[in-house]
Amino acid sequence: MSESAIFDVFVIGGGVNGTGIARDAVGRGYSVALAEMNDFAAGTSSGATKLIHGGLRYLEYYEFRLVREALMEREVLWAMAPHIIWPMRFVLPFHKGGVRPAWMIRLGLFLYDHLGGRKLLPATKTLSMKRDPAGKPLKPLFTKAFEYSDGWVDDARLVVLNARDAADRGALILNRTRVIGARRNNGLWTIEVEDRATRSRTSYQARMLINAAGPWVDSVLSNAVGRNNAHNVRMVQGSHIVIAKKFDDPRAYFFQNPDNRIIFAIPYERDFTLIGTTDQDYKGDPKDVKITGQEIDYLCRCASEYFAEPVKPEDIVWSYSAVRPLYDDGASKAQEATRDYVLKLEEKDGAPLLNVFGGKLTTYRRLGEHALEKIGEAIGVKGKPWTGESHLPGGDFPPTGYEAEVSRLKSACPFLEDRHARRLIRCYGTLTHAMLKGADSQAALGRHFGGTLYQVEVDWLVNREWARTSEDILWRRTKQGLRLSADQVRSLDAYLETAEAA
C-alpha cells in the first residue's frame, strides 16, 4: 500500500520534542506527518519530575545558556497552557555544614532571579523555618531556607495537546505506528511504517526526516535508517516515588544530598507527595526500565534526612521510572552529563536528516524553533516563529485565570463537585465546556469508573486524544490511576474493548 502525498517533514517520535516540532512546522505551512510507536508520552516525556524550571543545579556545571533559555521559557509556557502549567514556590532548606555554602546558594538564586526576564513569578526570599509553616514537617536542625519560583506541568498532557493541535492544523498524526524502514531514494525519504495493532504496513514519502525518538534515537539510526553501530545517546535512568500527602503546604521542597545530587518533594494530585529523581546510567532497552530497590532506598533515605517523620518503602503508593536520553558528551557522572539539547543536520543525496538529542520539558518549544531553523536551512523557509504567542488547546485564558475558569465551569455545570470541576479545568481548560456540552446532571456524565472519571471524559479521550487503553487514560491523560481499584480498572478495560469493537 502506498501513500501518494509527499510530506515536507516526517517526524519519528511522539514525545514532547517530536510533537513540538510537528506542531511548529505545520503551523508555518509545512506538510507534516508524525509516527509514534507507542502512545504519546509513553517514554521519557511522562517520566520526568514534571517541572517547568530553569534548572538551578545546572548553574554548577556552567550551563548558563541552557538555564537562561529555560528561565525565559517558564512564563512563555505558563501563558501558552495555563490549564496544565502553573507556578510553584520551592523551599530550599539550609544548614551549616551542608553540601553548598550559603553564599553559593544566594549567588545561584540571584542569577536565577535575574537571568530570565521574570515578570509574573515572585522573587527569591529567605525564610525562618521556626516561624514559617514550611518548617513544620522538617527536622528542627533546619532553621533557615530560601524560597524561589519555578513551575509545574502535567507532562503527558503537554505532549498530547501538542499532538492534538498539530493534527487540528493539518498534520498526519499516527500513534502506535512503528517506523520499520527509512531509505533515501531519488532525493526523497521513503518511510515504511507498521500499525502495531493490525500489522498493516504503509509507505510514505518526505523531503526531510526528523529523528526525535528520544532514547530510541540511536536505535532508529541503526535499525530503520541502516546506520551501523550508532552511538550518540547516554541513557540515564530517573525514578520517582509517590506517597500519601506528607505535608499540607502548597510549596515544594528542594533537598540537597551529601552526594551532590538533589531531589524534590512536590505536592501531587492533591492527596499525594511526589519524590524524585535519581540519576544512574542505564544500559538496557528503554521500554524495560523500572525503579530498582536501590533507587527506592536512596529516595527514602534522602527524604528522611529532611522530614521529621521518615519516608519508608511501605509508604509508596506508586512509582515510575524513565530513561533520559542525554547527548553523550563524555561526562564522568550521570548527573554531570549535559541536559542541553543537540541538533545534528545531515544533508546527503538531497534528502536531509535531522537527529534530535537530549532536551528538557521546559525547553521543548525553543528546541522546536531551533529545529525549524534547520528545516528551513535544508528544504527552504516557510512561515515565521509563532508558538511563543500561541495557546495549546484549552489554554486560551489568562495565566492567572484558573480560579475564574473553575467558577465559570461550576456556574455552567452546578452538579459538578468542586474537586471534579478543578481537575477537569486542569486537564482540559476551556475545552471542558465542549466535552460536557448538553450535560445537565451527574447522570448525564454517563458511567462512573471511579475517582472523578466518567464515561463522557473517557469517550472524549478515545475520540479526541488517541487513548486506547486504561493505562493511556489512567496514568497519562488523567492520573486517575491513583484512585481506581483493580476492579474499577478491569471495568474500564472492558468498556474500552467494547468501544473499540464498535
Q: Which domains does the chain have, with CATH numbers?
A: 2-44+156-232+339-389 (3.50.50.60), 86-152+234-325 (3.30.9.10), 402-501 (1.10.8.870)
Q: Would you put residue 358 in left (φ > 0), alpha (ψ -120 to 50) or beta?
A: left
Residue 472 CA: distances (Å) to CA of 43, 174, 176: 12, 15, 12
Retrieve residue 197's grid coordinates. 495493532
SS (H, E, C) 438-455: CCCCHHHHCCEEECCEEH
CA distance 302 to 258: 9
Parallel, antiparallel or unpaired: strands 172-175 and 316-327: unpaired
Which helix (H) or strand (E) covers residue 204, if one does?
Answer: strand 201-211
Residue matched to cell numbers 509556557? 77
Mean pLDDT for the chain? 93
pLDDT band at 55; cut points 50, 70, 90? confident
* End-to-end Cα separation, the chain, in angstroms: 25
64-84 pLDDT per residue, tens: 888 899 999 999 999 999 999
pTM of structure: 0.96
How high is the pLDDT of residue 231?
Answer: 77
Which among 167, 70, 240 has a CA at the least distance from the CA of 393?
Answer: 167
Residues whose CB is less than 8 angstroms from the CB of residue 441 and which lie 6 or more positions away in sequence, other chains included: 415
328-379 pLDDT per residue, tens: 877 666 666 667 899 999 998 889 999 999 999 999 999 999 999 999 999 9
Retrieve residue 82's grid coordinates. 495555563
pLDDT over 80 at 96, yes or no: no
How high is the pLDDT of residue 335?
Answer: 66
What is the residue type of 393?
P
Retrieve residue 317's grid coordinates. 503508593
Parallel, antiparallel or unpaired: strands 272-276 and 233-244: antiparallel
CA distance 426 to 395: 10
427-474 pLDDT per residue, tens: 999 999 999 999 999 999 999 999 999 999 999 999 999 999 999 999
How high is the pLDDT of residue 104?
Answer: 82
How high is the pLDDT of residue 3?
Answer: 52
Residue matched to cell numbers 491523560? 477
What is the residue type of 15?
G
Name the 3-class secondary structure at 250.
coil
CA distance 167 to 428: 17
265-306 pLDDT per residue, tens: 999 999 999 999 999 999 999 999 999 999 999 999 999 999
Which among 396, 402, 415 has a CA at the least distance from the CA of 456?
Answer: 415
